[in-house]
A and B are shown apart, each in its own frame.
Chain A
Amino acid sequence: MIEVSGLTKRFRDRAAVDDLTFRIARGEVVGLLGPNGAGKTTTLRLLTGFLPATAGSVRVAGFDVFEEPRQARRRIGYLPEVPPLYDAMTVRGQLRFAAELKGLRRALLPAEVDRVSRLTGVNGVLDRLTVNLSKGFRQRVGIAQALLGDPDVLILDEPTVGLDPIQIREVRDLIRSLGGRHTVILSSHVLPEVAMTCSKVLVLNAGRMVGFDTLDGLIARHLPGRTVTLDDIAFLEEIFGKLVIPA
């Protein structure tokens, strides 16, 4: 569903993303993990075609995001690092506008806005101005916006930032439930989150991919002989340290 090959992005002479090659199959939920400045946001922006790549290619659902941007983008739902909301609009207005940008038919708009706002729990604030929402609600409206039109691929940049623990659990459950039907790639520097929501982990450090495997695979390779349960999440911290520190 997502095919990345030789993807490189340079800002002046600094490589923010350096020669990434990976493949994500339909229905997988992949966590993009890395320390601050590792290139997570840049990678996601390259996947959406928002940033042009210096080299390499990205194909989403079979379409090259740089050569056939409109076909590719129709299949992507994207939550940027900062939820892109217009202060002067109500939540309903914001969602309708985003749906129109995605080319949804007018007759379907109310039902679609209703569907995504229920999924993300913002149906109670549809008539509030986005500027007056708490950070958690802004984040959820951003996720609702990404879900509009039921895209094949969801690209979520730190989806649980700013949420309280209960909301975090809700969003996690939501993301897990999206897997299977949707292909999801999300970034996070919160390790437990990746462990709990994702089927695979891609670890980035200084723009390079230093690991890409299932959780079980990572554990087997880096902590041989250790048995780990999902409640015992410190293991990932340990693996993360092993992967990132040598660089």
Chain B
Amino acid sequence: MRATLAIARKELSVTFTTPVAWVVLVVVAFFSAQVFAGALDGFRLLTSRAGEIPGGAQLLERVNLTDAVVARLFGSVGLFLVMTMPFLSMRLVAEERRTGTFELLMTAPIRPVEIVAGKYLASLAVLAVALLLVALFPAFLSVAGRGAQGGGAVEWPTVAAGLLGLFLLGAAALAVGIAFSALAGTPVVAALLSLLVLLGLWLAGMFTVGAGGAARNLAAGLSASEHLAPFLQGRIALPDVLYYLSLCALGLFVAERAVEGRRWA
């Protein structure tokens, strides 16, 4: 346990002295801001023009700020995480093997699982920082719209569920990434392979267009984006949580096996 924490601390200090973590945070924050501004503008247009179209009043009753702005933002953040997490996880094991520091870890009186856990914890911490930045947007809405009632107020339970879903998605992405980092020879190959797999999972739902029945159900069951959707609507369902947790477990298991098996330099 102490070794795990020592590795996590080391990993964090190394991560923040390289540009990668900063770039990931900036990318997530920048694109989130773009999506947020767009969604907010759309919401403003809708609410200001709703009176001019027939049935607009009923429409207005059914939209709310959280669904129209925050859920849209979080949906995009999901994709940003899928695109950026591989770059956060790519060096975790591959870089140590490349520079030879792997030999220090592997000849220390610690188990491979402690190495993987320490590195994973550090990457989860960076993910948490990224999501804190994302959480600033609904916080901003809440402050700016103080006193708003009904659809105009931020529904914090829904926001919290969305953040939980994003955290699970990011954690699963990092677990897949650390597995590839342990399997691949270089960080770049690790990043590309995990990006490929994660994008495949994210887009799995799209492969079902035109397909029916079992194939459709299977693809939807595998899709990382379809399992995120309920969280964004404020629903925390066990199958969705289990989906992400099993991805995490699978990734970490493969990573641990690969570290244990790859005792050569």
Contacts and interface: CB of A to CB of B under 8 A. Distances in A.
A103 B2 contact: yes
Interface stretch (B72-80, B103-111, B148-156, B251-259): B103-111
B3 interface: yes
A71 B111 CA distance: 12
Contacts of B49: none
Given A50-B263, A51-B263, A101 B13 contact: no
B101 A85 contact: yes
B6 A89 contact: no
Interface string A92-133: 010001101111000000000000000000000000000000
A102 to B, nearest CB: 6
Contact of A145 (B18, B99, B104, B263): B104
Contacts of A45: 103, 265
Interface of A: 45, 48-52, 69-71, 73-74, 76, 78, 80-89, 93, 97-98, 100-103, 145
Interface string B11-43: 001100110000000000000000000000000
A52 B109 contact: no
A39 B112 CA distance: 26
Interface in B104-152: 104-111
26 contacts: A50-B103, A50-B265, A73-B107, A73-B108, A73-B109, A76-B107, A78-B103, A80-B100, A80-B103, A80-B104, A80-B107, A83-B100, A84-B101, A84-B103, A86-B10, A86-B101, A88-B17, A93-B10, A93-B13, A97-B10, A98-B108, A100-B2, A100-B3, A100-B6, A103-B110, A145-B104
A49 B13 CA distance: 28
The winner among B105, B107, B108, B110 for most chain A CB atoms within 10 A is B107
Nearest to B14: A88
A11 to B, nearest CB: 9
A73 B103 CA distance: 12
Contact of A84 (B13, B100, B111): B100
A222 B102 CA distance: 41
Given A50-B106, A88-B17, A101-B104, 18 more contacts: A48-B107, A51-B264, A69-B109, A70-B111, A81-B100, A88-B13, A88-B18, A89-B14, A97-B6, A98-B104, A100-B6, A101-B6, A101-B7, A101-B109, A102-B108, A102-B109, A103-B2, A145-B104
A52 B263 contact: yes
Contacts of A100: 2-3, 6
A152 to B, nearest CB: 13
B10 A89 contact: yes
Contacts of A85: 101
A203 B265 CA distance: 24
The winner among B7, B102, B109 for most chain A CB atoms within 10 A is B109
A49 B107 contact: yes
Nearest to B104: A84
Nearest to B16: A88
Interface in B52-80: none
Contacts of A78: 103, 107
Contacts of A93: 10, 13
Interface string B77-109: 000000000000000000000011111111111
A86 to B, nearest CB: 6
Contacts of B263: 50-52
B18 A82 contact: no
Contact of B110 (A76, A80, A101): A101
* Across the A-B interface, the 5 shortest Cβ-Cβ residue pairs: A84-B104, A100-B6, A101-B108, A88-B17, A73-B109
Contacts of B7: 101
A72 to B, nearest CB: 8
Nearest to B101: A84
Nearest to A85: B101
B109 A103 contact: yes
